[in-house]
Amino acid sequence: MQLRSLLVVILFCFCITLQASTSLKLFTEGSYTRILEQHKGQAFVMVLWSVECVPCLTELTMLGQLKQRHPKLKLILISIDAPDVEHEIQTLLVKNNLAQASNWVFAEGVVQRLRFEVDPAWYGEVPRSYLFSVGHNRQAVTGELKREQIDTWLKSATS
């Protein structure tokens, strides 16, 4: 009986890991442009975050709840961490019900180039978010996004 319970736990952990690992994409030069092209004519939220950023972790919890309330919300999460912390990234995404969002991780050694591609005025502070309207006018937010900010943006971006 103990062996059966252990096998169930191992299978459950494997399924969670498999679910999370299939959703993490490498953010390289040109990824930002591809994201914009893929979401042409759509409103979306893009959040840059890190596993070492305490406000980011609070924000991930709020974003997971937001995604449950608004399942059709296009949410793009980009971890500015290196791919070698993929397990920690995936664990946080699964914990916050964000494994099915569009998840990315910085994948190049020269992160300044990736940051510049996203926003020449961004110097790497996180959390950093962009609220994109249907016409891709974007509103940059430095610091933790608040639920009220997103609710207000949702009303204007989708109408």
Mean pLDDT of 109-134: 94
* CATH number of the structural domain 2-157: 3.40.30.10
Provide the pLDDT for residue 8. Answer: 41
Relative to beta strand 24-27, strand 102-106 is parallel
Rounded distance, CA 80 to CA 75, Å?
Answer: 16
Whole-model pTM: value is: 0.85
Question: How confident is the model over 24-77, as pLDDT tens digits?
Answer: 999 999 999 999 999 999 999 999 999 999 999 999 999 999 999 999 999 999
Q: Quick check: 7 pLDDT over 90?
A: no
- Cβ atoms within 10 A of the Cβ of 52, count? 12
Question: How confident is the model over 84-113, as pLDDT tens digits?
Answer: 999 999 999 999 999 999 999 999 778 999
Provide the pLDDT for residue 49. Answer: 98
